[in-house]
Amino acid sequence: MQDIIDLDRYPLDRPGSSDWQALVERCRADLVTRGMFDLDGLIPGDVAASMVEAMIPRFASDAFLHERMHNIYFKPVEDLPRDHPALRQLRTANRTLCADQIAGSPLLRLYDWPEFARFLAAALDKPELHVMDDPLARVNVMAYGAGQALNWHFDRSEFTTTLLLQAPEAGGGFEYRTDLRSDTDPNYDGVARLLAGEDPESQIVTLRPGTLSVFRGRNTAHRVTPVEGARARVIAVFSYYERPGVTFTEAERIGFYGRAR
C-alpha cells in the first residue's frame, strides 16, 4: 500500500504499534471534540490527481446525474406541518460513479485492504468493520461541478468515511453543525435557524486533496457548499458496516444510481 498511502506519516500497516495506537487515540479525541477526524495527506496529492485523471472519461460518459429536491431529513416528518421552516426544500446535485464503474482503481484496493477497516474500527471504537457486498454502493466517487452541491442533511448511518481527491477552484467547503439534534431532542427550531443561516456554531472546513475524513453525521447537520469555477470537487465515499453482507435494496440503488444492477 506504500504506493497509495503515506505509511510513514500514517502507520496503518502497523496495527498495535505505539505510533498506530497514538494515531487511533488522536482520532478518537477529535471525534469527541469535533464529531470528525481528518488525516490530511493520507494519499499524496499526485496519487489523488492520477486517480481523478483515470476517472474523467467515465464521469463524462457513464456517471449518474443525481439531482433532487429534499428536506434536511430526506423524508416527510409527521411531527411538523408541511410549511415548518425546518422542512425547507433544498437542492442537491452531483454526478456519481459506482464501484463497478471504477474497476482497477486503487480506491478499491484501499477499500478492501483489511488494515484500513481495522484502523477505522479502532478509531471509531468498534469491535470490527466489514466491507459491503453491494457491487454498486461499496465505493462511490462523486463529482460536484459549478453550481452543484450536497445540501444540508443528517446521515442515516452513524459515520461516513470520505477521501477528497480533487478540490474546486472555489466553494465546495464542508460545512457542519455539531450535535444539532440528539436521539431524544429533534431541535426543530434549531434546525430552522441553521437553514436560515442564523446558527453561529456552524463551521466550514476546506480540505486538501488526499485528505481522509471520518464524520459522525447522524445528529450533526452537514453539507457541501456550492462549487464555483471550472474544476469539479471530486470525493470518494467508502461504506463500511458493523455486520457483514450488507447490500442496498433494488429500490435504493435506483434512487441513488438510476439502476438496480
**CATH number, domain with residue 148:** 2.60.120.620
Q: Provide the pLDDT for residue 255.
A: 85
Domain that holds residue 199: 35-102+128-257
How much of the chain exceeds pLDDT 70, in percent? Answer: 100
pLDDT at 40 over 90: yes
Report residue 81 as a C-alpha cell.
406541518
Q: What are 94's strand-pairing partners?
A: 66
Give tens-digit pLDDT for 112-165: 999 999 999 999 999 999 999 999 999 999 999 999 999 999 998 889 999 999
Residue 17 located in a structural domain: no
pLDDT at 46 over 90: yes
Domain total for the chain? 1
Question: Contact 164/144 with Cβ under 8 angstroms?
Answer: no
27 alpha carbon, distance to own chain's centre? 17
| Amino acid at position 2, single letter | Q
Give tens-digit pLDDT for 184-194: 999 999 999 99
Q: Provide the pLDDT for residue 198.
A: 96
Q: Provide the pLDDT for residue 261.
A: 85
DSSP letter at 225 equals P
Q: At what angle do helices 18-34 and 114-123 cross, to 10 degrees?
A: 50
Residue 20 located in a structural domain: no
Residue 19 located in a structural domain: no
